[in-house]
A and B are shown apart, each in its own frame.
Chain A
């Protein structure tokens, strides 16, 4: 009797081991790479992946977080070497580059009957190329105006009435600026300070640089007007004074707005988290960007993409679907003020109850992505920024600067076509 029981137990144990081994080998393994390598974000994504694995026993996801600065090199090298991840976060601003290079899979099958409707209008164009959808907008962002209520009161301005137009912004800025002995002690508004650049001012003046044929055009009257306004604002209190003043700031506690030296600044939706960390006693307000006829803002963000060389597209689809679901997106939004791509999740009740969040949501409705150029994907850095710098320094007029930017861009396009 005892021998039979022992043999039976041994047989049962062997059966269990074999079954679990068979089940394990039947599991589809996929990898997911992201930028959350430490802190609450890393714990969050770990929990999300665990939940997905538990809910999908036939799939096993291993994930890897790399810090933002090293992530891009790592991802590019691994993908080029054929050992890239099945699902990866990437730059929402240049999805077409990877679509054209054939390194990502189209995701049209992933969309429900609503298509791209659940996602912010700004992001819909960013994930589309050649009539197909190539990525999911995991996270986007938006720029708004932050203003120092205490400085407003000290200057006799109503802290609940922030500027809405460029003219109002200029009037407020002049009232809030203090210049002593040729040096700026307190600045109302600096067009190069914060999270802003010339294309944003062009957008606020109704110009998105896109010509009818899909190429880019920088030297339109609206663009020249916007650059002239930017130059005027930069030199309003002395060009040298502004440059030296701007050079004294950095990040964290030495940020121009958080240090209380600049009254109004353009920043993105993750700024409140930084203010809570570095300047918790700051009395500030948030408002939509002052515009010159076209309410607008600028967005970029992170995409979720599936590698074209994945061995398990179906499992990868499921992971992406899960990461874009209402629950996961809402939890991600709560984590650190991230403007997730899923509109319903972004407008969850507890988020909308926050003081600044409704302003971000309102601004998202008029926000746009930067125009994309396949031949010159970093046109804003290579062709445009040096000319904007020249105009701000006064070595070129805005018209000359933008004409030269146009020439630079066309040169880049021609070189791309010659060497591709």
Chain B
């Protein structure tokens, strides 16, 4: 028994010191005024009250919700579509799978710069293509209306990881089910609806939950590309939290924000789990 504890002690210590302790402290800090240089001062619920009247807090919440509700369904649909295509037994599939997966491996400033150019209003690829169709493309990242859709498009490019999970799920569906469906006279669409979707539902559910949690925490694009602008249109929740904590040095206020986000994500996840019980029903059959 002692040996077992010794074996896992590095992880346990690490978890306690670097995860559990800071999380516990942040609960405490959310009830204080703490600027890092002076000891935290207890102010009760003042941070939470002040947040409810902070227009930037509501704007950040709206921006993040908008981004999540737009990107998650699109990402799920696109990754499923591509996975279905890549599941066919045509030559060159392995090459295509690599090609579709590669963008999700890239990250950071390079990708941000790449997309800054793709979205350039005058010379960018997207507006150039639109101009051939006779459409004058929008200002994308420089327009308050189009900046979030632009970021959603950018995130869709990195759907490789989700696509690969869908692909694995598709390949684990027993082919006998498809044979049985064909024998019963099912068309392609019917096969998809009555065999593929139900058998894939656990995978889809997993993607749904993890994509949502990830989208609520969108940060890098705002930090690197737009700095929350223009006109606060890409002020995402975690970006606002980051600014409050590390640029304004208001740790108490930022901690309160962090815990509100936690409750929002937990609530949304619980709703998703409750809704999914109807889907899981197919699988148990």
**B252 at interface, CB cutoff 8 A:** yes
Are A419 and B120 touching (Cβ within 8 A)?
no
**A132 at interface, CB cutoff 8 A:** no
Are A248 and B122 touching (Cβ within 8 A)?
yes
- Interface range on chain A (Cβ under 8 Å from partner): 20 to 34
Picked from A101, A247, A395, the residue with its CB within 8 Å of the CB of B121 is A247
- Interface range on chain B (Cβ under 8 Å from partner): 20 to 34
Are B139 and A389 touching (Cβ within 8 A)?
no
> Taking the nearest CB of chain A, how far is it from the CB of B208, in angstroms?
34
**A318 at interface, CB cutoff 8 A:** no
Give the CA-CA distance A37 to B139 in the complex, in Å: 39
| Among A72-80, A267-275, A341-349, the stretch in contact with B | A72-80
Are A79 and B231 touching (Cβ within 8 A)?
no
Give the CA-CA distance A243 to B37 in the complex, in Å: 41
Instruction: Name the interface residues of A22-55: CB closer than 8 Å to any CB of B.
Output: none
Contacts of B54 in A (CB 8 A): 411, 415
Give the CA-CA distance A240 to B120 in the complex, in Å: 12
> Chain A 388-420, CB within 8 Å of chain B: the 1/0 string?
011001010000000000001001000100111
Give the CA-CA distance A98 to B50 in the complex, in Å: 24
Picked from A244, A382, A386, A411, the residue with its CB within 8 Å of the CB of B139 is A244
**A183 at interface, CB cutoff 8 A:** yes
Give the CA-CA distance A98 to B38 in the complex, in Å: 11
Contacts of B55 in A (CB 8 A): 408, 411
**B212 at interface, CB cutoff 8 A:** no
Are B46 and A245 touching (Cβ within 8 A)?
no
Are B247 and A378 touching (Cβ within 8 A)?
yes
Are A102 and B37 touching (Cβ within 8 A)?
yes
For B33, B49, B142, B252, the residue with the greatest tally of chain A CB atoms inside 10 Å of its CB is B142
Picked from B33, B36, B120, B144, the residue with its CB within 8 Å of the CB of A420 is B33
Contacts of B250 in A (CB 8 A): 419
Contacts of B53 in A (CB 8 A): 411, 415
Are B120 and A101 touching (Cβ within 8 A)?
no
**B157 at interface, CB cutoff 8 A:** no
Instruction: Name the interface residues of A230-248: CB closer than 8 Å to any CB of B.
Output: 240, 243-245, 247-248
For A76, A378, A420, the residue with the greatest tally of chain B CB atoms inside 10 Å of its CB is A420
Query: Taking A79-B37, A102-B38, A419-B250 as contacts, is the C-beta distance between A247 and B231 under 8 angstroms?
Result: no
Are A248 and B249 touching (Cβ within 8 A)?
no
**B282 at interface, CB cutoff 8 A:** no
Chain B residue with the shortest CB-CB distance to A376: B248
| B residues at A contact (CB < 8 Å) | 33, 35-38, 43, 46-47, 49-50, 53-56, 120-123, 139, 142-144, 229-232, 246-250, 252-253
Further 13 A-B residue pairs, CB within 8 A, beyond A243-B121, A419-B50: A79-B37, A80-B36, A80-B37, A244-B120, A247-B121, A248-B123, A378-B247, A393-B143, A393-B230, A419-B33, A419-B47, A419-B252, A419-B253
